[in-house]
Amino acid sequence: MSTIVSLPDQATAKLPRKSYLNEEYGIKSWLLTGDHKRIAMLYLMSITFFFVIGGMLAGLIRLELLTPPSDLMATDTYNKVFSMHGIIMIFLFLVPSVPATIGNFLIPLMVGAKDLAFPKINLLSWYLYVIGGIIILAAMVLGGVDTGWTFTTPLSTHYLNTHVVTAAMGIFFAGFSSIFTGLNFIVTVHRMRCPGMTWFRLPLFVWGHYATSIIMILGTPVLAITLVLVALERTINIGVFDPTKGGDPLLFQHLFWFYSHPAVYIMILPGMAVISEVISTFSRKRVFGYTAVAFSSVAIAVFGFLVWEHHMFIMGVSQYSALVFSLLTMLVAVPSAIKIFNWSMTLYKGSITFETPMLYAFGFIGLFTIGGLTGIFLATLGMDIHLTETYFIVAHFHFVMVGGMLMAYLAGIHFWWPKMTGRMYPEGISKVSAIVTFIGFIVTFFPQFLLGYLGMPRRYAAYPPDFQVLNVFSTAGASILGIGYLLPMLYLPWSLIYGKIAGNNPWQATGLEWQIQSPPLTENFTEIPVMDHEAYDYEWLANKTQHEVQTVG
């Protein structure tokens, strides 16, 4: 049963006199802050910056593919453009997107703590991210990298003379930034929960981030050492991956994908964490099967470490191990399906409203499901041989990453925007942009499934003229998608000044973060809260609001 909750009258809401935004002024108070909310804002700005660069590179790729010959840029320029698009979008946008911004802002609020366990390490992780980002940009400006984001050996170690070492160093820094974020989250969830906040009263957002953090701390160091070995191979010619010295290029693939496959769950689990909150809030119902959803996050993190070889089915791995990895890969579909079904059950008989975050969440569920199901195609050994290295793969992971994670990111940004800034985003235009994003996305990436199935290989600047119609569709869709992403970048800053005052709890959500003023105080809570009810308890909220006199400021 869902509980009927009436939304509060925002006409009477006022901005609080004191908050984390006006506690201190000046650039130094931001750059040297230990406050997780301010660091989240720093992340939000830097991530948006890198997203714009990565997006422009994507635009260049789509422009090049508008016509069959490689006429816009030289083929090796094209290689550099898609490599940088991948590197920037994965390491500088997708991996930190939700955890470092929304997660950083919310996890202490949700567990009832004053800050993350290690505020200085949190700030350090932002600096490492920025340093990594600058190094990667430097690699791009100095001439780029054309290995693809995968740095495949021996291509990256022996056959290219581009800035592989520089880019690898940038990723190394960004990687440690993500390790420190994960470490902070794990310690915070273990040691900083407020009285009464048991593990099974934690919002699912926290569970999702906990699972993500496990992958971050266990997977990322392996990528770091792998990139170090690649860099050593290029600079001082050690031979771990060099067949002429007895090394094994396939070992690089194993080590790389040992991180990079779990990394795709770093990129999706926080998105799922956001969706759990949004779906529950806008159907005014407890998430169906809370425990199952919580454990499915952990299950995804665990299974995620056991499937890396499915990236290597056509690279000469043993057939028997391929069989095992194919089976394990299909197993990951189970916890993902648990989530999708439980969200659908949450919607069932809920009092659903269609605010912008909910629109994005619906987009997420639809697109992620398509992305996930096409993953099963690719896990099937026979199909994979036909489909791998084609646009089918490109479409598959863009459905999960862009259709899934980016939708979830935007859902989260809109959902918690009132909490972060104290002001509402403009509802009308943001709904339009959610719909535009969805349409643009489908038009961009659905044709790529067809292209891949017809055999168009990825990573080429030119293609046979038969494929042009679908590619024109895709490029047209990309321009619609671009508008969909541009709109929030315009109206969200606008709303900082002109948006309606949000009040404490504009969505009538149950999380601890909604029970305090927006934007919150620097110390989050005036007194440490005591959790005396389950997560997503709308009855409790209804009783609370009945007996409470609203005070603001």
Partner 1 sequence: MLPGGVDPHAHPAFLRHHFESVAQQREAASFGMWVFLLTEIMFFGGMFAAYLIFRNWYHPAFVAGSNTLDITLGTTNTAVLIFSSFTMAMAVYSAEMRRKGQLILFLLCTIVLGLVFLGIKGVEWHEKYVEHHVPGMGFSIQDFVHPTNPKAIPLAPDMAEKTQIYFSLYFAMTGMHALHMVIGVSLLFFLVALASRGAYTEGHIMPIENFGLYWHFVDIIWIFLFPLLYLISRYR
Pairwise CA distance, residues 550 & 553, whole Å? 10
Three-state secondary-structure class, residue 501: strand
**Least Cβ distance, residue 312 to partner 1 (angstroms):** 15
Nearer to partner 1, 216 or 379 (CB): 216
Nearer to partner 1, 317 or 552 (CB): 317
Does position 115 interact with partner 1 (CB under 8 A)? The reply is yes
Three-state secondary-structure class, residue 214: helix
SS (H, E, C) 460-484: CCCCCHHHHHHHHHHHHHHHHHHHH
Q: Which of 68, 148, 221, 457 binds partner 1 (CB under 8 A)?
A: 221
Does position 224 interact with partner 1 (CB under 8 A)? The reply is yes
**Least Cβ distance, residue 210 to partner 1 (angstroms):** 12
Does position 462 interact with partner 1 (CB under 8 A)? The reply is no
Element (H or E) spanning 267, and its range? helix 249-283
Q: Which of 19, 33, 153, 220 binds partner 1 (CB under 8 A)?
A: 220
**Least Cβ distance, residue 321 to partner 1 (angstroms):** 14
Chain residues 339-398 in contact with partner 1, contact rule CB under 8 A: none
Chain residues 241-260 in contact with partner 1, contact rule CB under 8 A: 245-248, 251, 254-255, 258
Three-state secondary-structure class, residue 499: coil
Chain residues 174-193 in contact with partner 1, contact rule CB under 8 A: 179, 183-184, 186-187, 190-192
Nearer to partner 1, 222 or 379 (CB): 222
Pairwise CA distance, residues 202 & 511, whole Å? 9
Cβ atoms of residues 220 and 265 within 8 Å: no
**Least Cβ distance, residue 21 to partner 1 (angstroms):** 19
Nearer to partner 1, 229 or 541 (CB): 229
Cα–Cα distance list, 92 to 95, 257, 519 (Å): 7, 18, 27
Q: Residue 69 contacts by C-beta under 8 Å, 6 or more apart in sequence?
A: 462
Number of residues this chain uses to bind partner 1 (CB under 8 A)? 42
First vs last Cα of the chain: how many Å apart?
Answer: 34
Nearer to partner 1, 85 or 261 (CB): 261
What sign results for the dihedral spanned by CA atoms 385, 391, 395, 397?
positive
Q: Name the one range near partner 1 by CB under 8 A: 217-225, 382-390, 444-452, 509-517.
A: 217-225
**Least Cβ distance, residue 208 to partner 1 (angstroms):** 18
Helix ranges (H only) for 192-248 are 204-235
Chain residues 522-541 in contact with partner 1, contact rule CB under 8 A: 523, 528
Nearer to partner 1, 122 or 297 (CB): 122
Q: Which of 40, 88, 100, 117 binds partner 1 (CB under 8 A)?
A: 117
Nearer to partner 1, 240 or 461 (CB): 240
What sign results for the dihedral spanned by CA atoms 330, 333, 338, 341?
negative
Cβ atoms of residues 158 and 234 within 8 Å: no
Nearer to partner 1, 226 or 433 (CB): 226
**Least Cβ distance, residue 108 to partner 1 (angstroms):** 8
Pairwise CA distance, residues 339 & 341, whole Å? 6
Pairwise CA distance, residues 310 & 326, whole Å? 6
**Least Cβ distance, residue 476 to partner 1 (angstroms):** 44
Amino acid at 208: G
Closest CA to 311 of 230, 254, 236, 369: 254
Does position 154 interact with partner 1 (CB under 8 A)? The reply is no
**Residue 331 token pair:** 């197993």
Q: Name the one range near partner 1 by CB under 8 A: 83-91, 113-121, 364-372, 375-383.
A: 113-121
Cα–Cα distance list, 436 to 44, 47, 431, 484, 487 (Å): 22, 22, 9, 5, 10
**Least Cβ distance, residue 121 to partner 1 (angstroms):** 8
Q: Name the one range near partner 1 by CB under 8 A: 76-84, 112-120, 201-209, 345-353.
A: 112-120
Does position 219 interact with partner 1 (CB under 8 A)? The reply is yes
Q: Which of 240, 365, 411, 420 binds partner 1 (CB under 8 A)?
A: 240
Give Cα 228 distance to the centre of its chain.
Answer: 25
Radius of gyration of the chain (CA): 23
**Least Cβ distance, residue 542 to partner 1 (angstroms):** 31
DSSP 306: T
Tell me the β-bridge partners of 521: 524
**Least Cβ distance, residue 280 to partner 1 (angstroms):** 28
Nearer to partner 1, 295 or 305 (CB): 305
DSSP string, 291-348: HHHHHHHHHHHHHHTT-GGGG-TTTT--HHHHHHHHHHHHHHHHHHHHHHHHHHHHHT
DSSP string, 357-425: HHHHHHHHHHHHHHHHHHHHHHHSHHHHHHHTTBHHHHHHHHIIIIIIIIHHHHHHHHHHHHHHHSBPP
**Least Cβ distance, residue 295 to partner 1 (angstroms):** 21
Nearer to partner 1, 234 or 423 (CB): 234
Q: Which of 86, 96, 103, 119 binds partner 1 (CB under 8 A)?
A: 119
Cβ atoms of residues 409 and 271 within 8 Å: yes
Does position 238 interact with partner 1 (CB under 8 A)? The reply is yes
Cβ atoms of residues 381 and 360 within 8 Å: no
Q: Which of 131, 232, 337, 381 binds partner 1 (CB under 8 A)?
A: 232
Pairwise CA distance, residues 23 & 18, whole Å? 7
**Least Cβ distance, residue 98 to partner 1 (angstroms):** 21
**Least Cβ distance, residue 544 to partner 1 (angstroms):** 24
Nearer to partner 1, 57 or 255 (CB): 255
User: Which spans of this chain sit near partner 1 (rule: CB under 8 A)?
Assistant: 113-115, 117-119, 121, 179, 183-184, 186-187, 190-192, 217-222, 224-226, 228-229, 232, 236-240, 245-248, 251, 254-255, 258, 523, 528
